[in-house]
């Protein structure tokens, strides 16, 4: 029973975090509407917006190990939206499998886990 309650609480907390992130992302996307080019990194998420041939293009990418390494090797990519967009567009065709994504994910925002057994009253 205890494990089931912890699972429900964890799922609810995860849902709350996801809802807050979605809301913040929606507000952020609204704020960048007026800009033609944007590169933004938020924890393990990279947002790249470019305008090419009169069309606005937007990529929102989870930063995995390989991409984190590319950004570390060439920090100027964060100042070159079109080049970064091109790199990400090409790699989008080669998305990692779910197992690879879990293994290679760069954890920059890990939620705390509550352990009632170690709490002092």
Query: Which pLDDT score, from 0 to 100, does residue 49 have?
Result: 94
pLDDT tens for the chain, residues 1 to 121? 555 545 555 677 777 888 887 888 889 889 999 999 999 998 888 999 999 888 999 998 889 888 899 999 999 999 999 999 999 888 765 555 555 555 544 444 444 444 444 444 4
Structure tokens that stand for 64 in this block: 């995995």
Q: What are the boundaries of each domain within the chain?
A: 1-31, 34-107
pLDDT at 117: 43
What pLDDT is recorded for position 111? 43
Q: How far apart are CA 36 and CA 41, in angstroms?
A: 17
3-state secondary structure of 14: helix
pLDDT reported for residue 47:
92
Q: What is the pTM of this model?
A: 0.61
pLDDT, residue 5, reads 44
């Amino acid at each position: 029973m205890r494990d089931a309650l912890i699972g429900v609480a964890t799922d609810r907390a995860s849902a709350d975090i996801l809802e807050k992130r979605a809301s913040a992302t929606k507000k952020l996307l609204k704020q960048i509407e007026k800009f033609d080019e944007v590169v933004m990194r938020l924890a393990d998420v990279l947002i790249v917006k470019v305008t090419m041939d009169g069309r606005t293009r937007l990529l929102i990418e989870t930063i995995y190990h390989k991409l984190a390494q590319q950004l570390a090797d060439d920090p100027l990519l964060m100042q070159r939206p079109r080049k970064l967009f091109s790199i990400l567009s090409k790699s989008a065709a080669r998305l990692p499998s779910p197992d690879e994504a879990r293994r290679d994910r760069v954890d920059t925002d890990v939620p705390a886990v509550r352990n009632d057994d170690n709490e002092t009253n």
